[in-house]
Structure 1
Amino acid sequence: MATTSLVPSSADDPLAYRPIALVDLLDRVLGTGVVVTGDITISIADVDLVYLSLRALISSVGALTPPEPPGGAG
């Protein structure tokens, strides 16, 4: 009888769970940015009444501004 592990292994799945500190996660999100999307549908008796599509970009200003050319703006 073979047993299987319920805990994912990084060898099996490259996107497996790995613990990460909150500071590291916040640094990565603000450094590169992240897009959060979601869809909400309000319906009654299988009749869609309201549909909302939500999109939000979370990033630092420094990550969104282009780098200055060498030698300044002059």
Structure 2
Amino acid sequence: MSTSTSPDLDLRGHPEVSLVDLLDRLLAAGAVVAGDLTLSIADVDLVRIELRLLIGSVSALTPLAGGEPR
């Protein structure tokens, strides 16, 4: 799994960031979370969970879906 961060979301140089500022930046830019989890015993898969999560504001994601921005 590869990760890439936007320069706007780079918080390494700012140790004190409020939760509101972090959520504002996250919703403005959007984020995609993807992951797979498999629980197996003796090479038999018992549980498989696939996670695909898209986080963003409606106004930021509407142009990506081909709709008209508000």
Unmatched tracts of structure 1, length 5 or more: 1-13, 69-74
Size of the aligned set, in residue pairs, is: 55
RMSD: 2.5
Q: Counterpart amino acid of 2:27?
A: L
1:49 counterpart residue number: 46
Distance in 2 (CA, whole Å) between partners of 1:23 and 1:52 is 30
Q: Percent identity?
A: 64
TM-score (ref. length: structure 1): 0.56
1:5 counterpart residue number: none
Give the structure with the higher percent helix: 2
Structure 1 residue ranges (4+ consecutive) displaced by more than 3 angstroms after TM superposition: 14-18
2:62 to 58, 62, 65: 65
Say which one has the larger Rg.
1
Q: What is the DSSP-based 3-state SS (H/G/I as helix, E as strand, rest coil) of the residue aligned with 1:25?
A: helix
